[in-house]
Amino acid sequence: MGEAVNGPRTFPNHIYHDQLNNNQGGNHIGREIVRSCDPTVLDTLALTMTKSNGTRSHYSLRNGLVAPKWHKTMGCCAFIISSVLYSLKRFGSYITKKVSWPLMFITLMMSIFMFTLFTDFIPFNRIVYSKDADNSAKGFIPLKGNTQSDRSALHLRRDVYGSDPKITLPLPRASTSSFNALSANGSQQGKAIKRFPACIVFGVSKCGTKAVIEYLKLHPHVVAPRSEINFFNNETLQHQHGLDWYIQQMPPSLDHQITVEKSPDYFQNHLCADLIRAAAPATKLILLLREPIERLVSEYMQLSEKRPGLPEFDKWVIGQDTGDVDQRVPSVMVSAYSEHVSYWLSVFPREQIHIIESQSLRDYPLQEMRRVEKFLNLQPFFQPDDFYYNSTRGFYCMRMRFSGKTQCLGKSKGREHITVSQSIMEKLQNFYQPYNNKLKQILSLDFPWL
C-alpha cells in the first residue's frame, strides 16, 4: 500500500560508476549516471558511454528516451537549414537557384530522421542498472506518453515510496490516477479504484499458490484478479500496453482493501524481481516452497496431460547422453530453489518476502493463513469453520462463512502421481541436496525436507 507522506521529500543525487557488459559485440561500456531526485522537476540524466576502444559518446536521457547529444545538435541544424533552404527555394531566391529538388528532398528527410532521434516518438528499450546487484543488460518496460501528468506520476510514486538507490534509470510510469492508487492517502474516499497489487504471490508453480490466493479471497479486505496476469514476464504486454494496462487488470478495491495477484512463473524469471522492484519497491511477496522432487513430479503430471507425446518421467529428467539429471530441462531447475531465492533476496529485503511450506499449508491451512494475515497487516478473519477436511480429495476445502457453501480446488489438485524408481529417486535426491543445503542456510528455516 505504501507509506503515507505528509509533504514532498528531497532526495540526494546519485552518481554511479561501473562496468556493464554489452552482449552485442562484446564491448564493455562504462556508464556514468547522474540522476536528479528533486521531486518537483522531471528527472534528468547525463549518460556517458565509453567503449572498449576508448571512444566516448555523451547522451542525455529525456522522458525515458535516450539520444546522443550530437544527434540533437545535428538534428536541429539539419532541420533549420533544410527549412531555410526550402523556403528560399519556394520563393525563388537567387541563393538557391542552383539547389536541386532531389537534394532538397534528401536534406528534408534526413532532418526529419535526425529530429525524431531526440524526441519522444520512438520507444526505447532501457536498462535496469544496479549498484549492488549483478550488473547485466536487461530489457525494461518502455515509457508511454509524454504529457506532464505522465511525468508527475513518477514523482508521486517517489513521494510515496522514497528514493530507491538500486534503480538509476527512470522507472515505468502510468497515468497519475493509476499511481494515486498506490498511495494510502491518494485514493478517492469511499470509491473503489484499481490499484497496483500490495502483494504478489510469485511462486513456486505446483506448490499451492492457487490455494493461497483462493483462501485470501475469503478475507473481506482482500481482492484478487480471477486469473494470472503474468505481466512482468511477458515482454509483449510490457511493450504494447505498459504498466497502466497491468493496473487495469486488477479488480477495484476500497481504501481498507488490498489487491493480491498470483503469477507463480515470476519465480524463475529473475528479471521479474527487478521490474516489480522498479514499479513498486514496497510490494510484499509470498513464496511457497515444496519438496523439490514432489514439485517436479507434480509439474510432470500436469505437462503430460497437456502434451501426450511427452517422454516417460525417467527419460524426461535424465539426460540420455550423460545418465545424470538433465539440467537443460527448465522444470528440473525450477526446483533448485536456492538459485532463484538468492536472487530475489538480493532485490527485496527478507522482511518483504513471506515463505510458506507447501505441506504445512495443506495440513494446517488455518495456522498458515493467520500468518499470512499478520504479514499483510490484515485484520484477523480466518476461523476454524472456514476450512474442513475432504476425505475424498485428501485435503482441506473452504466453507463460505455467510452462505454456508463449500468450495474445493480444481480436479487437478490432489491428482495421483506416478511412482518414481529408486535409482532415479536417488539421482534426484543427490542432485537437489546441495541446493537444499544452500536454501536452508539462506532462509534459516527448517522444513522437513531440508
CATH assignment of the domain containing 207:
3.40.50.300
Q: What is the pLDDT of residues 56-89, one digit of tens each?
A: 444 333 333 334 444 555 666 666 776 776 666 6
Residue 45 resides in a domain: no
State the pLDDT at residue 393.
85
Q: Which of residues 54 and 311 earns the better pLDDT score?
A: 311
Residue 233 resides in a domain: yes
Q: What is the pLDDT of residues 162-212, one digit of tens each?
A: 333 333 333 333 333 333 334 333 344 568 999 999 999 999 999 999 999
Instruction: Give the full edge-to-edge strand order of the sheet including 258-262.
Output: 222-223, 258-262, 199-203, 284-289, 353-357
Both 201 and 87 in a single domain?
A: no
Mean predicted lDDT score pLDDT of the chain? 72
State the pLDDT at residue 199.
98
Active-site residue identified among 144, 194, 206, 262 = 206
Of 96, 116, 136, the last residue of a domain is 116
Residue 378 resides in a domain: yes
* Predicted confidence (pLDDT) at residue 320 exceeds the cutoff of 60: yes
Residue 316 resides in a domain: yes
Count CB-CB contacts under 10 A for residue 166: 17
Q: What is the pLDDT of residues 145-163, one digit of tens each?
A: 332 323 222 222 222 223 3
Both 272 and 387 in a single domain?
A: yes
Both 103 and 234 in a single domain?
A: no
* Predicted confidence (pLDDT) at residue 287 exceeds the cutoff of 80: yes
The mean-pLDDT minimum among 265-274, 328-337, 390-399 falls in: 390-399
Percentage of residues in the chain having pLDDT higher than 70 = 59
Q: Which of residues 419 and 129 earns the better pLDDT score?
A: 419
Both 217 and 358 in a single domain?
A: yes
Phi-psi region of 229 (alpha: psi -120 to 50; beta: other; left: phi over 0): alpha
Residue 39 resides in a domain: no
Cell of 16: 554511479
- 427 carries an active-site annotation: no
Q: Which of residues 157 and 439 earns the better pLDDT score?
A: 439
Both 72 and 201 in a single domain?
A: no
Of 86, 116, 146, the last residue of a domain is 116
d(CA 125, CA 235): 11
pTM of the shown model: 0.61
d(CA 218, CA 236): 33
Q: Which of residues 392 and 265 earns the better pLDDT score?
A: 265
Both 295 and 429 in a single domain?
A: yes
The residue range of the domain holding 318 is 187-450
Question: Are the CB atoms for 361 and 349 separated by under 8 Å?
Answer: no
d(CA 297, CA 303): 10
Residue 140 resides in a domain: no
Q: Which of residues 282 and 39 earns the better pLDDT score?
A: 282
Both 290 and 422 in a single domain?
A: yes
Residue 238 resides in a domain: yes
Our count of domains for the chain comes to 2
Of 116, 145, 177, the last residue of a domain is 116
pLDDT band at 108 (very low <50, low <70, confident <90, very high): confident
Question: Are the CB atoms for 15 and 34 separated by under 8 Å?
Answer: yes
Both 244 and 356 in a single domain?
A: yes
Residue 264 resides in a domain: yes
Overall average pLDDT of the 253-279 stretch: 96
**Which residues line the annotated binding site for 3'-phosphoadenylyl sulfate?**
290, 298, 396, 413-417
